[in-house]
C-alpha cells in the first residue's frame, strides 16, 4: 500500500496508460480522481475502479480550476498529480514535390496539440500547486516522451510539447522544492496502448526489431514508474526525466 491515505489526481485517466495508472494507484491505497474529455469511458473507468471522474478538457483553464477545487474540497488535500493527458495530430512540417510545396502541418494541428499537451500541463499544475504548498508536500509527475528528447519524423507539434514539458518540469522542481514538492517527468517509448495498436502490424514489428529488448512496453510498466515517483520511495528524486523505452534509441 505505497500510496495509502494519499489523494491522487490523474489527467487523461479514462483509458490507456492513464486508466492503468488509476488502477495501480487504487490497488496501492490511494483515493484516485481521474479526468478526461471522454465522458463515457471515464464513467466506465470510475465505476470499474471505484474512483471519481470529472469530464474536463485540460486546455480549459477555468474547467481545470473548478475540478481541482472540487477534489481539494472533497478530500481536503491533493498529494499526487499525474499530468498524463495528451493528443496526437501528426503530419509533416512541410512536404515538397518537384520543388513545389504540396502540404504542411496546419496551424490548427499545431495549436491543438500545444493547448492540450503543454498548456494543459501548465493549467493542471498551476491549479494544484497552491494546495500542495499549503499542505507542505506533494509529487507531480508529467508525461513527456522519448520523442521530446530525441525528436521524431512527422511530429513537430507533439515533439515541441513534450520537450516543453521537460523544461517546465525542471523549472517547477526548482521553484516548488522549497515547499517539499517534487516534480519529475516520465519519457515513455513505444507502449502498447490503443493509440499504438491502431498502427499497421508491420510498423509495430519494426518497433520491436529496433528495440534491444525486442518487444514493446506495456501500460503497466509505465504505471509502475508513475507509482514509484509518486510514492515516498522517491522522496529525494526531483527534476528528473526518466526514460522507459526498452533501450529503443540504443537499438536504432
Tens digit of pLDDT for each residue in 34-67? 999 999 999 999 999 999 999 999 999 999 999 9
First to last CA, the chain: 38
Q: Which three cell numbers stand for residue 3?
A: 500510496
Q: Which three cell numbers stand for residue 32?
A: 484516485
Q: Residue 22: pLDDT band by 50, 70, 90 thresholds?
A: very high
**What is the Cα–Cα distance from 111 to 107, expressed in whole angstroms?**
6
Q: Does the reported pTM lie above 0.85? A: yes
Backbone angles phi, psi at 226, to 5 degrees: -55, -45
Instruction: Answer yes or no: is pLDDT of 242 > 90.
Output: yes
Q: What percent of the chain has pLDDT over 70?
A: 98
**What is the Cα–Cα distance from 207 to 179, expressed in whole angstroms?**
41
Provide CB contacts within 8 A for 126, sequence distance 6+. Answer: none
pLDDT of residue 46: 98
pLDDT of residue 252: 53
pLDDT of residue 250: 58
**What is the Cα–Cα distance from 90 to 161, expressed in whole angstroms?**
13
Q: Which contiguous run of DSSP H or E holds residue 137?
A: none
Q: How far is CA 100 from the centre of its chain?
A: 38
Per the residue annotation, which of 131, 158, 226, 236 is the catalytic one?
158
Residue of 21, 23, 24, 26 lying closest to 6 (CA atoms): 26
pLDDT of residue 216: 93
Active site residue 158: yes
Instruction: Answer yes or no: is pLDDT of 195 > 80.
Output: no
**What is the Cα–Cα distance from 34 to 207, expressed in whole angstroms?**
30
- Please state the rounded mean pLDDT for residues 20-25: 98
pLDDT of residue 98: 92
Instruction: Answer yes or no: is pLDDT of 1 > 70.
Output: yes
Average pLDDT, the chain: 95
CB distance 142 to 126 below 8 Å:
no
**pLDDT tens across 109-128, in order?**
999 999 999 999 999 999 99
**pLDDT tens across 162-173, in order?**
999 999 999 999
Q: How far is CA 70 from the centre of its chain?
A: 21
**What is the Cα–Cα distance from 135 to 14, expressed in whole angstroms?**
28
List domains and CATH numbers for the chain: 7-251 (3.40.50.720)
Amino acid at each position: 500500500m505505497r500510496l495509502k491515505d494519499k489523494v491522487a489526481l490523474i489527467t487523461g485517466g479514462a483509458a490507456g496508460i492513464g486508466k492503468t495508472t488509476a488502477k495501480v494507484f487504487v490497488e496501492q491505497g490511494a483515493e484516485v480522481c481521474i479526468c478526461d474529455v471522454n465522458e463515457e469511458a471515464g464513467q466506465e473507468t470510475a465505476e470499474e475502479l471505484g474512483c471519481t471522474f470529472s469530464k474536463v478538457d485540460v486546455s480549459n483553464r477555468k474547467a481545470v480550476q473548478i475540478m481541482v477545487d472540487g477534489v481539494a474540497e472533497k478530500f481536503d488535500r491533493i498529494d499526487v498529480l499525474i499530468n498524463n493527458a495528451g493528443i496526437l495530430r501528426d503530419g509533416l512540417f512541410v512536404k515538397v514535390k518537384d520543388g513545389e510545396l504540396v502540404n504542411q502541418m496546419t496551424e490548427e494541428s499545431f495549436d491543438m496539440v500545444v493547448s492540450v499537451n503543454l498548456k494543459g500541463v501548465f493549467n493542471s499544475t498551476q491549479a494544484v500547486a497552491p494546495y500542495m504548498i499549503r499542505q507542505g508536500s506533494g509529487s507531480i509527475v508529467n508525461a513527456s516522451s522519448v520523442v521530446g528528447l530525441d525528436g521524431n519524423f512527422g511530429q513537430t507539434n507533439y515533439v515541441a510539447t513534450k520537450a516543453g514539458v521537460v523544461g517546465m518540469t525542471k523549472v517547477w522542481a526548482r521553484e516548488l522544492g522549497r515547499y517539499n514538492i517534487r516534480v519529475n517527468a516520465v519519457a515513455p517509448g513505444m507502449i502498447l496502448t490503443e493509440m499504438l495498436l491502431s498502427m499497421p502490424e508491420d510498423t509495430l514489428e519494426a518497433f520491436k526489431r529496433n528495440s534491444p529488448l525486442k518487444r514493446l512496453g506495456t501500460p503497466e510498466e509505465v504505471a509502475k514508474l508513475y507509482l514509484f515517483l509518486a510514492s515516498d520511495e522517491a522522496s529525494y528524486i526531483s527534476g528528473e526525466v526518466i526514460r522507459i523505452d526498452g533501450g529503443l534509441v540504443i537499438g536504432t
